[in-house]
């Protein structure tokens, strides 16, 4: 009686723990995508309140989260259609809508530029499939977002320069040139060190230093994608 009851209790606890661990395994990457989505939504709210510095910092956090979620999904063998949709929605929110609001549209032309930027991200996420393993077609929008956020922080909100940069990033995103799937956390050790440096810079270093770090990182991928970032 007592032995059987104890055995059932222990077994039920083990089953419950196993189910919890399986749930965490399947949803760890989804959790990172949700965190990216929340960062994007919070960035949008900050922009509405004209707290653009906070918006930019949240975009840089989203950049790191986005690089991590795919790696975690593959590590844990937890890739799913739901996870892919959630990741795309988070990317559109953070690297499309939230990033475009940094342009601070004041008139019709500014508004058209914002719409063009958002639509470029939309097209990039929905319609650009390279069909080639480990390769993107068009510049991945997180890098464009990181570049714009770093530029904004370093120039203390020079909107004219930011709009010119955004226009150039639109051209890079809609161009169907190939970019390597860098897989930062699944590639050479130096890439993992770069990622760890980005986390440390954003969490512990002054905003200007973190901005320079992420700006340099993004520009190196945009300008020298295969010379530096191709997987080997």
Candidates 171, 141, 54; CA nearest to 102 is: 54
Q: Phi/psi at 111 (nearest 5 deg)? A: -65, -40
Strands (E), the chain: 135-137, 178-180
Q: pLDDT 10s digit of each residue in the chain, 232 long?
A: 666 666 666 566 666 666 777 767 677 888 999 999 999 999 999 999 999 999 999 999 999 999 998 888 888 887 788 888 899 999 999 999 999 999 999 889 999 999 999 999 999 998 876 666 667 888 999 999 999 999 999 998 899 999 999 999 999 999 988 898 888 888 889 999 999 999 999 999 999 999 999 999 999 999 999 998 986 5
DSSP H or E segment with residue 23: helix 2-48
Q: Phi/psi at 178 (nearest 5 deg)? A: -90, 140
**Which tokens hold the place of 119?**
């639509």
Q: Per the structure, how many domains does the chain have?
A: 1
Angstrom distances, CA of residue 56 to CA of 104, 148, 157, 221, 232: 13, 8, 10, 19, 32
Catalogue the long-range contacts made by 195-198 (C-beta closer than 8 Å, 24 or more residues apart): 195/64, 195/67, 198/60, 198/63, 198/64
The model's pTM is 0.87
CA distance 108 to 184: 39
pLDDT at position 170 is 96
pLDDT at position 177 is 85
Which range marks the domain in which residue 189 is found?
1-229
pLDDT at position 1 is 67
Compute, in degrees rounded to 10, the torsion defined by CA atoms 205, 208, 212, 215.
110
CA distance 131 to 114: 29
DSSP string for residues in 130-143: --STTEEES--HHH
């Amino acid at each position: 009686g007592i032995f059987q009851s104890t055995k059932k209790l222990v077994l039920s606890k083990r089953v419950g723990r196993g189910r919890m661990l399986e749930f965490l395994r399947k949803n760890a990457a989804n959790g990172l995508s949700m965190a990216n989505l929340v960062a994007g939504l919070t960035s949008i709210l900050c922009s509405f309140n004209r707290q653009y510095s906070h918006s930019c910092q949240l975009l840089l956090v989203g950049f790191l989260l986005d690089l991590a979620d795919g790696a975690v999904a593959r590590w844990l063998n937890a890739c799913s259609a739901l996870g892919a949709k959630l990741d795309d929605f988070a990317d559109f929110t953070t690297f499309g809508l939230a990033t475009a609001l940094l342009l601070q549209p004041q008139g019709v032309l500014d508004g058209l530029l914002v719409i063009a930027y958002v639509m470029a991200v939309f097209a990039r996420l929905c319609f650009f499939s390279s069909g080639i393993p480990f390769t993107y077609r068009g510049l991945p929008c997180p890098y464009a977002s990181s570049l714009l956020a770093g530029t904004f922080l370093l120039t203390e909100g020079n909107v004219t320069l930011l709009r010119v940069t955004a226009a150039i990033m639109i051209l890079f995103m809609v161009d169907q040139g190939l970019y390597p799937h860098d897989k930062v956390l699944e590639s050479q050790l130096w890439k993992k060190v770069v990622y760890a440096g980005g986390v440390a810079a954003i969490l512990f270093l002054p905003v200007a230093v973190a901005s320079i770090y992420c700006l340099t990182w993004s520009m190196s991928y945009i300008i020298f994608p295969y010379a530096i970032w191709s997987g080997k």
